[in-house]
Structure 1
């Protein structure tokens, strides 16, 4: 898994170097992680499961053994995080 948080200070990491394994080209700069990579592992798993289950909150609630409103709130929090 790609590290997202600096082990020294706890701030968010950025990508500075991208390399092509085929030709050896290196691209450098400062690139923020895409929004989906900024989610916690638990949030990422939720998004993956949500997509696999066709966005059906009822199925997600059953799978997570949580109430529909609780799962809806969890999804809403992820949406807010992705909109930043």
Structure 2
């Protein structure tokens, strides 16, 4: 899809032609909303987690999706690292005890 008409709401001037849009304008709504929150949180993943109520791996996956949509290559992380971050986030939120976190980290290291 391309932009073919621009209009001024103030003076009613109209321009017709072929107009390019930026990469961010082409993002799907959910990715654009994610990026707005990400920027508002100054890229702090913990703040994005809190604001959106999602886990660290979900934030990373959404960010990777945006990066790929914009045409850049994403280096995939070790899946074990995402699991560790998930466990630490649950510990920080008080969802699990330190002992449970230690046990889960031991099991995820295998």
Question: TM (normalized to structure 1)?
Answer: 0.67
- Change in 2 beyond 3 A, CA 1:25/1:73: same
Post-superposition offset of 1:45: 1.1
* 2: CA distance, partners of 1:33 / 1:73: 25
Identify unmatched segments of 5+ residues in structure 1: 1-12
Deviations 1:20-40 (A, max 9, x none): 456665433222332111112
In the superposition, relative to structure 1, how do residues 16 and 61 fare at CA in structure 2: closer, same or farther (>3 Å)? same
**How large is the Cα RMSD of the aligned pairs?**
2.1
Alpha-carbon shift at residue 70 of structure 1 (Å) = 1.6
Q: Which has the higher helix share?
A: 2
Which 10-residue stretch deviates more, 16-25 or 29-38? 16-25
2:18 is equivalent to residue 30 of structure 1: yes
Question: Could you tell me how far apart the structure 2 residues matched to 1:25 and 1:65 are?
Answer: 44
Partners in 2 of 1:24 and 1:63 — Cα distance?
Answer: 39
Decide which structure has the larger Cα Rg and report it.
2
Give the paired residue count.
72
Residue number among 25, 38, 56 corresponding to 2:44 in the alignment = 56
Unaligned runs of 5+ in 2: 73-110
